[in-house]
Structure 1
Amino acid sequence: MSGQADAPRRTGALHIGVVGAGTMGRGIVQLFAQAGHTVLCFDEKLDAAAHGVAAVFATLESLVAKGRLASDALDGIRARAKSCAALTDLAGCDVVIEAIIEDIAVKRDLFGRLEGIVADNCILATNTSSLIVAEIASACRHPERVAGLHFFNPVPLMKVAEIIAAVRTAPLVVATLRAIVEGAGHKAVVVADQPGFLVNHAGRGLYTEGLRIVEERVATPSEVDDVLRESLGFRMGPFELLDLTGLDVSSKVMTSIYEQFQEEPRFRPSSLVPPRVAAGLYGRKTGEGWYRYEKGQKVEPARRSAPSLPGGLTVWVDPDAPDGDALAGLVQNTGARRRLSASDADICVVQPIGEDATSAALRLGLDPSRSVAVDPITPFVRRRTMMLTVTTTPAVRDAAHALLASDEVPVSVIGDSIGFIAQRVIATIVNIAANIAQRAIAEVEDLEAAVRIGLGYPFGPLHWGDRMGATKILQILNGQLQATGDPRYRPSPWIARRAALGVSLLTPEAPR
């Protein structure tokens, strides 16, 4: 393909081959047949391709019955999507997409065979989610025609696809695949051939920091999930997601990405995981993981009930607290009395960022046994997170909990931690995303879109960092780094430079 113009080839009615009739292969067949392409499906297993195409038609028939697809559109798809009995039937295809087992030897063998069948200008794409595309392409005489084309399940509904440009992939191939994907109504994001590509790479922060928080006994899995789901708007918390995907699968992905990144501390797996995998606590599919399941439904764990509010309570609120007015209003509404001097109060309330409750109390000259901290970055009206110092007394804990829950907003009571739950998780997500941008693994626009669509986060990670403030992100990361000495928390230069300049984290590097 070298020497051809760097512009997409004809992307109207193409002939697209799909090798593999499993869940992903079927989804790819449906996507491109609905987009107007002729699609041929092949599978090495006898009759699998025919059954796969039939399953696609059955899915589309249900859409017709629901009024979501016109019957004449289904007729056209039936004419364009076909199964084939031999790999050689793909000879006339413009693009062949592989969606078979995640085995490098099997994929390399397939690509080697395809080169002897298809034309020299046929694009070969792999739907691998974890293998290095360049290694697959190295089996080919023309590696420049090979790229990754990674879809997410279910393919027709997950409106994003990663186009992975391997070291020798021709620009024309990338441009053509982008045009085909976008023509089918999906967002195409171009990604360098790096471990985890973009979406799985960017998603490491949620899982690994959630596990780290539980390791440190700051909170339980359900408490972490509650805070991130209710306070920050995640669709599911990390432990709910691990149970959904299966810990046996997720543990392999965590280990693979960590090893492929040369044991980068930011991706270090948790020691909590191997014993649970060995015990078969995979999640939903085994009936028990981080949660128990009955008839496929999660059994909700017991939550801590709010204690009764004691009478005559006196409270000191840090005058510099970000939510000081809201806290003061809450104190007033309960009938508790606010003290201007901390020494005269039953409870002292602080709101640190990037600091634990014990350190904040000592810095302000407070009695740690009478002190609690409330997370200032989460919306005060959704769920409140109250953090204890090492020596907070049970009486102070219960009185503060009762106060914070007095208007029926749920409260999570957690152990001492630099950055609470929400601060730590957001800072970790933003830091990993910033490093992706720093290394140009993807453009900022593609990074933001892929995370929103592929992971379902409320915001793109760098946009989220801007909402919180780059300086605060640095404060949280540096606080963790100083306290633990763990290089996992070292801030990306992308964040540090933009914080110093006072510019958005979305600001790209200056052209050179």
Structure 2
Amino acid sequence: MSALNTNVAVAVIGAGAMGAGIAQVAASAGHRVWLYDNREGAAAQAIDGIARQLARRVANGKLAAEAREACIAALAPADSLEQLADAGLVIEAIVENLEIKQALLRQLEAICAADCILASNTSSISITRLGAGMSRPERLVGMHFFNPAPVMALVEVIKGLATDPNVAARVLATALAWGKQPVLARSTPGFIVNRVARPFYAESLRLLQEGAADCASLDALLREAGGFAMGAFELTDLIGHDVNYAVTCSVFDAYYQDMRFQPSQIQKELVDAGHFGRKSGRGFYDYREGALRPDAATLHSSAAVPAVIVEGEAGLLQPLLERLAQQSVSISRRAGRGLLRVGDASLALSDGRLASQRAADDGLNDLVLLDLALDYRRCTRLGISWATGTSASAVDQVVALLGVAGIQVTPLRDSPALCVLRTVAMLANEAADALLQGVASAADIDLAMRAGVNYPQGPLAWADQLGAATLVTVLDHLQAAYGEERYRPSLQLRRQLAEGARFHE
């Protein structure tokens, strides 16, 4: 299916930050664009704002003056909905309210031509429900941009139950022609990104609530070990806790209080206090003038660097061993059950069990567990925890060893699957469940999470890297530790394990 021809007019309803951004995207792609808002003068003000913003880009050498002039010339404010009658695509970006959106769509049906595509930029309302009050719901599709629309690459194209597949295909092609990275999804709560991303916030919030570590430490681990652009507390402060908490509650309610999406009391308390994050000056961090940003907890050691004995297969820790070998650390191998012996310490990648539980189960003394890293060759920080009774010298020797490789060490209270591992396992689990339920393809799920929330790699690609066996084991151990359905492994992960299949071949 081909994209809309640039001689087709586009209309955007709602001149807020999102609507103005969408209008700018369509105009920059060569369409004539109507911008309408029911607030008098709002559309004209938004176009003036776009003009000023583009002028700054021209001044900074990031945009040709001709491109700016062409974009501004293509934008025009509309005084009434009736002026949108000649549009071939109308995108509403108004308040997130079902009844108000439905009323607008019914008006547009009466005004626009029969072949005009009607699109909603909703981030949370079912496209199927929006279309239920229309006479021709087959021409309604979701077109969910991410803020700021001119910058963010992702567009989720959402099919409602009645959406004509040809309409969805044309919108998908049009978004691609506009320079975006579109993905196709079925209309389910949270679509792709707002559903699959919930564990990224939820697991850090739970670890904080349990006293596993502080905000700065958990954020540092997700950034410096996990490869995420921001930690969960930094990101929710940026998004705004009023917004992030509301989305979580919406998804939780839409899935009939499934505990995988349970909101956090800690975040609710911030919302109740009006501490919404950066925009209010306070959130998990203090953004007021003169406030100091806390540092991550970091262990230090002056111990002699011990040699490493590898017992059995190193598995996912092999890249770490190669990094240590480059620093002239002596590494030897012998038969065993997949452990590293570091001086007095037994060192292993977490498998989801508490360190104390694993030490008791496996008869290990001085057990220290390592957290997951996106790339052990390049990470600059790792989390560790240790079993009750582990000697201070054993922990010290592990810290000294990692320090030789230039890796800072952050301690965590003994917690199942530590920080990065449990977060990645739950992201992969939710992505696998979305795939199982036909929300989107594996490729589109991973693309959505990379382009929409800037993940270092898609959760299903990460699942392939770790292996279904590892993920199912970690999730089974998390579920056993907490006794909660929240951590149940998706049937799709168990299927991948049984079939020996990968998400991306």
Assess same fold via TM > 0.5. Answer: yes
**Counterparts of 1:485 and 1:350, CA distance in 2:** 24
**Counterparts of 2:134 and 2:142, CA distance in 1:** 14
* Structure 2 residue corresponding to 1:300, chosen from 289, 293, 296: 293
Deviation at 1:8, TM superposition (A): 5.1
- 1:212 is aligned to 206
Deviation at 1:458, TM superposition (A): 0.9
Structure 1 window deviating more from structure 2 (394-403 vs 52-61): it is 394-403
* Structure 2 residue corresponding to 1:401, chosen from 395, 399, 402: 399
Alpha-carbon RMSD across the aligned residues, in angstroms, is 3.1
Q: Are 1:349 and 2:344 an aligned pair?
A: no
* Structure 2 residue corresponding to 1:484, chosen from 482, 485, 492: 482
Residues 180-228 of structure 1 deviation map (CA, whole Å, 9 limit, x = unaligned): 2111111221111111111111211211122122223222222211111
Gaps spanning 5+ residues in structure 2: where? none
Query: TM-score of the superposition, structure 1-length normalised?
Result: 0.89
**Counterparts of 1:360 and 1:310, CA distance in 2:** 26
Deviation at 1:119, TM superposition (A): 1.4
- 2:370 is aligned to 374
**Counterparts of 1:345 and 1:361, CA distance in 2:** 17
Contact 1:307 1:399 (C-alpha < 8 Å) held by counterparts: no
- 2:91 is aligned to 97
Q: Are 1:361 and 2:359 an aligned pair?
A: yes
Contact 1:318 1:350 (C-alpha < 8 Å) held by counterparts: no
What SS is found at the alignment partner of 1:272? helix
Q: How does 1:405-424 map to 2 (within 5 A)?
A: 405=403, 408-424=406-422
Residues 474-506 of structure 1 deviation map (CA, whole Å, 9 limit, x = unaligned): 111111122222111111121111122222123
Q: Are 1:128 and 2:126 an aligned pair?
A: no
Residue correspondences, number: 497
Residues 261-307 of structure 1 deviation map (CA, whole Å, 9 limit, x = unaligned): 11122211222222222222221122222122244x98331443534
- 2:424 is aligned to 426
Contact 2:226 2:372 (C-alpha < 8 Å) held by counterparts: no
**Counterparts of 1:501 and 1:343, CA distance in 2:** 34
* Structure 2 residue corresponding to 1:161, chosen from 155, 165, 171: 155
Contact 1:357 1:388 (C-alpha < 8 Å) held by counterparts: yes
What SS is found at the alignment partner of 2:311? coil
Q: How does 1:235-254 map to 2 (within 5 A)?
A: 235-254=229-248
What SS is found at the alignment partner of 1:164? strand
- 1:309 is aligned to 302
**Residue identity matched to 1:500:** A
Residues 13-61 of structure 1 deviation map (CA, whole Å, 9 limit, x = unaligned): 2111111111011111111111111100111001001111121222222
Of all paired residues, the percent bearing the same amino acid is 34
Contact 2:352 2:474 (C-alpha < 8 Å) held by counterparts: yes
Query: TM-score of the superposition, structure 2-length normalised?
Result: 0.90
**Counterparts of 1:62 and 1:171, CA distance in 2:** 40
Contact 2:311 2:341 (C-alpha < 8 Å) held by counterparts: no
- 2:493 is aligned to 495
Gaps spanning 5+ residues in structure 1: where? 1-6, 508-512
**Counterparts of 1:439 and 1:200, CA distance in 2:** 16
What SS is found at the alignment partner of 1:236? coil
* Structure 1 residue corresponding to 2:462, chosen from 464, 469, 485: 464
- For residues 9 and 472 of structure 1, do their structure 2 counterparts lie closer, same or farther at Cα, with a shift above 3 Å needed? closer
Contact 1:433 1:462 (C-alpha < 8 Å) held by counterparts: yes
Deviation at 1:344, TM superposition (A): 12
Deviation at 1:407, TM superposition (A): 5.1
- 2:25 is aligned to 31
- 2:174 is aligned to 180
Structure 1 window deviating more from structure 2 (182-191 vs 265-274): it is 265-274
Contact 1:317 1:350 (C-alpha < 8 Å) held by counterparts: no
Deviation at 1:374, TM superposition (A): 2.4
* Structure 2 residue corresponding to 1:443, chosen from 434, 438, 441: 441
**Residue identity matched to 1:419:** A
**Residue identity matched to 1:384:** L
**Counterparts of 1:19 and 1:92, CA distance in 2:** 14
- 1:190 is aligned to 184
- For residues 315 and 62 of structure 1, do their structure 2 counterparts lie closer, same or farther at Cα, with a shift above 3 Å needed? closer
Q: Are 1:87 and 2:85 an aligned pair?
A: no
